[in-house]
Amino acid sequence: MAVIDTYAAIVGGGIVGLACGAALAARGMEVIVLEQHNKPGTETTSRNSQVIHAGLYYEPGSRKAELCVRGAAMLYEYCGRRGVEHRRVGKLIVADTPEVPALEALAERAARNGASVRLVTRAHALELEPNVRADAALLSPNTGIVDTHGLVASLAADLGSAGGILACGRRVVSAERESGAWRIVCEGAAGHEEVRARRVVNAAGLVADGVASLFGLDVDARGHRQRWVKGNYFRIRSKTPIVRRLVYPMPPPDGEGLGIHATVELDGTVRLGPDTEPVSAIDYAVDESRRAAFHRAASRYLPALRPEQLEPDMAGIRPKLAKGNDFVLEEHDGALHLAGIESPGLTAALAIAERVCAIMR
């Protein structure tokens, strides 16, 4: 069995794992990123709305709020410096008259988080987005979109140029504490391999709780058990974009997501989604029968939208904590576990990596 000795092993080659690996390697640490798939960033990272969030929704003082606001600033700077395609398109959160008090409360929360927002009237919202119906809206000029595939490629290049290793096709199957280090066994592309690492970062996304269990953490006792929620998307067929910026409804009271929203992509096309569908297995197929529900949700703020304009697009699955809804960063016996890294995980990735480096220095 081949043996690799390193200072730090990152389990998971999604956007957060790559960001952590690149940041640690840039600080002179020996790093290997272990990714179970044949390419990095193929699960939650690339199957989402590709939004750079401004930090509007999250509880002030929470990790989500702090890391989202910090991460957005870092991400805009990084993309500009590294030539990763992105665009600060802005976002409107729209409300009906009965929802205006909740919209005003959201504006106050956003301001407490350090996010720049502005309440706008119905007339101003119509001026900004002529196809949108709203009695009032909240404008977030700092919200944007990013090419996640380009971002993944850039971070992987950063990792390699700093001397780190990206090892794809390696699934961690066991871990054992031994002489102040972790002995990690992987299986996959090269058969069975062993990695010995003094420090470990568990950034395994959908399976972060299972990986944490391998490293001896009682995820149920710590409240780190994850559940999966699938988000389906439909694309809007239209000769011209129906909106020019992101348009979101008020978030539903159950806290499961941000509601079915309209997202402008870098090529100008518009997608609707995601919805929320609890699942126990990975399946990225989009059921066409969901079209009616998508149209019903979106036509509240896009009244001219017709059902036949919607076509199934893609789906993603996000890991949500069974208890609580904030990001988890918990160190246990030389391993740092990241759990519940759902939205705004993409936006927060560089800030999460910065926080990981501060913990592991």
Q: DSSP string spanning 60-76?
A: TTSHHHHHHHHHHHHHH
Per-residue model confidence (pLDDT) at position 125:
97
Tell how far CA 39 is from the center of its chain: 18
Rounded Cα–Cα distance for residues 313 and 36 (Å): 25
CB 229 within 8 A of CB 318: yes
Rounded Cα–Cα distance for residues 52 and 142 (Å): 8
Rounded Cα–Cα distance for residues 91 and 250 (Å): 12
pLDDT 10s digits, 152-186: 999 999 999 999 999 999 999 999 999 999 999 99
pLDDT 10s digits, 190-213: 788 999 999 999 999 999 999 999
Q: How much is the average pLDDT of 322-341?
A: 94
pLDDT 10s digits, 236-265: 999 899 999 999 999 988 777 899 999 999
Per-residue model confidence (pLDDT) at position 296:
97
Per-residue model confidence (pLDDT) at position 1:
58
Q: How much is the average pLDDT of 264-279?
A: 95
Does residue 234 have a pLDDT over 80?
Answer: yes
Q: Model pTM? A: 0.97
Query: Could you tell me whether strands 191-202 and 2-11 are parallel, antiparallel, or unpaired per DSSP bridges?
Result: parallel
Nearest C-alpha neighbor of 102 from the set 56, 52, 64: 56
Rounded Cα–Cα distance for residues 216 and 202 (Å): 12
* Domains, the chain: 2-47+149-225+324-360 (3.50.50.60), 89-141+226-321 (3.30.9.10)
CB 42 within 8 A of CB 64: no
Does residue 288 have a pLDDT over 70?
Answer: yes
